[in-house]
Amino acid sequence: MKCLLTILLACCILPVSAQELFPLSEPASNMPKGALGVRFYTEAYNEVNQLRNMTSLRLMYGLTPRLSVYLTGIASNHHGRKMPVEFPFHNTPERGAHYPYKFNGVHLYAKYRFLSLDGENTHFRMAAYGEGTYVNTTHHETEPDLEMGDNKGLGAGLITTYLKNKFAVSLTAGAIFPAVYEGASPDPIETLPDVPVRVQYGKALSYSLSFGYLLLPRKYSSYDQVNVNLYLELHGKAFQAAKVDLFVGQPNEYYLDQSRYPTALQKGYYVDVSPGVQVILKSNLRIDLSATFSSMGISYARLYPVFSLGIQRYFYR
């Protein structure tokens, strides 16, 4: 009975709807109740003479048939322990600087599927999600990012996913509300104390449109068959300008006029494009490879191309 249940759960999650297991986006579908997943994810890009990397380890659990929860630990070498010297007037973003690789914090995500319209080889599903991060790291740009551990804050949104035979498409739209960061920026004169800094990063609208196609197998004959899926994902944000206060808590504290901000702290938007390929082995081991390129607008929080690797494994009771 336990073996049969495992096969049925694997069938529900992977072979039937494998093409909606997008490498960079969440579908509206959920994990079965009691199922546990572990995901290792890393992405990297070259920044002048530095290799920037973010790595995360995620635990996923099907709390109920409609509710899944994820807990992720995040580490990166994206930012230093203090803001750049003369922040925000110069070196924002601070390209090519050496930053220590350190643990940033944790990301909590919950997804509730509230609509399911299922037919033969087709389904339409909608889900709501909420997320929050608790991190302790600097962030030099106004664009907020919770999943990568750049910002402390909250987010929420909706996911809509449609699957028909071997093709799947998913649309996600959400909002990000970053928390205020308070830290310090070294004074350019080494004998003077650090400058206390407070930054309110821009609120953001996040969006993604993902397409998936089941390339192999042409016809299922065994749960041990290798699955190969092709993906194309469009994702991005529209964000507000930051608000920066200098000499916080001191008599000469002042709010910096936004017209003096560098471009990385001004409002903006972007759309990235990410082609990817996915291989699924034994119905429950998933390997994702993707590359991200700039399409419209620009993100100052990274340089392109960005290369990503994800490895995910499911366990069933």
pLDDT in tens, 190-224: 888 898 999 999 999 999 999 999 999 888 777 77
User: Which has the closest alpha carbon to 25: 238, 297, 236, 307?
Assistant: 236
CA–CA dist 17, 212 (Å, integer): 10
Q: What is the dihedral of CA 13, 14, 19, 24, to 10 degrees?
A: 70
pTM score = 0.91
Please name every residue paired with 249 in a beta bridge, in sequence order, or none if there are none: none
**Predicted local distance difference test score (pLDDT) of residue 12:** 42
CB atoms within 10 A of CB 276: 21
Distances (CA, A) of 131 to 76, 157, 177, 285: 20, 9, 10, 25
CA–CA dist 143, 61 (Å, integer): 30
For residue 131, report the phi and psi dihedrals to the nearest 5 degrees. Answer: -145, 160
Residues of the chain with pLDDT under 70: 1-17, 91, 256, 317
CA–CA dist 288, 233 (Å, integer): 13
Amino acid letter, residue 38: V
pLDDT in tens, 74-123: 999 998 889 988 888 876 778 888 999 999 999 999 999 999 999 988 99
**Predicted local distance difference test score (pLDDT) of residue 169:** 97
243-246 and 285-297 as β-strands: parallel, antiparallel, unpaired? Answer: unpaired
Tell which phi-psi region holds residue 247, choosing left (phi > 0), alpha (psi between -120 and 50) or beta.
Answer: left
**Cβ contacts of residue 178 below 8 Å, gap of 6+?**
144, 146, 151, 152, 153, 200, 201, 202, 203, 204
Residue owning tokens 């002042």: 254
